[in-house]
Amino acid sequence: MKTLRPLLITAFLPLTAPTAALASECPAAPDHSEALAQLLNKVRVAPDARAGQALSDQMWALWATAPDETAQEALDAGMAKRSSYDFIGAIAEFDRLIAYCPDYAEGYNQRAFVLFLQQDYAAALADLDRALHRSPTHVAALAGKALTLMGLNRLEEGQSVLRQALALNPWLPERNLVLPSSPAPLEQEL
């Protein structure tokens, strides 16, 4: 039995490795900041919704490019599970992605989307803040944050964040949710 113990410990070590060790294996996310900046400049002057959507699709292609094959597999699996309404499975995949690549914004953004669909707005908001910390111009995460704040009945704050997102990309589908600004209250005459 003494000779089996080191073998058993070695066999189970990968299962009990700390998350930090897993994260150290993940390469840095690709730096798409210049390409995203160019796309954001183009989308702001896009002539119509069709052109705006084409540019938004190009942004999504960049955000959804994971740091490596392992991260990409977890992202793709989570998105597929979410699409088939397997929210528990999707969360598990995004948890795995975040544990492996804690600096990759899209893991948090995608998990937030599932949490939003489950109406766990507080948890979704925390993940959206994590995504935006890592990718401040992620307009989809900004729009998601706006919707989440509205889901929490923080309408004024949600409208403000939605306007920030629309300042970056005026063709977001959520543009129809902007409420007219209320005029400043009239001063009462004395």
Structural domains in the chain, CATH included, are 32-63+137-175 (no CATH), 67-123 (1.25.40)
The rounded distance, in Å, linking the Cα atoms of 26 and 74 is: 12
Closest CA to 141 of 106, 96, 171, 98: 106
Q: What per-residue confidence (pLDDT) applies to 24? A: 62
At 144, the pLDDT band (50, 70, 90 cuts) reads very high
131-145, 153-167, 174-188: range with lowest mean pLDDT = 174-188
Contact 107, 94 (CB under 8 A): yes
**Mean pLDDT value of segment 151-158:** 97
pTM tops 0.95, yes or no = no
Eight-class DSSP state of 174: G
| 85: three-class secondary structure by DSSP | coil
The rounded distance, in Å, linking the Cα atoms of 51 and 138 is: 19
Q: What is the mean pLDDT of the chain?
A: 87
Residue 182 has pLDDT above 60, yes or no: no
Residue 143 has pLDDT above 80, yes or no: yes
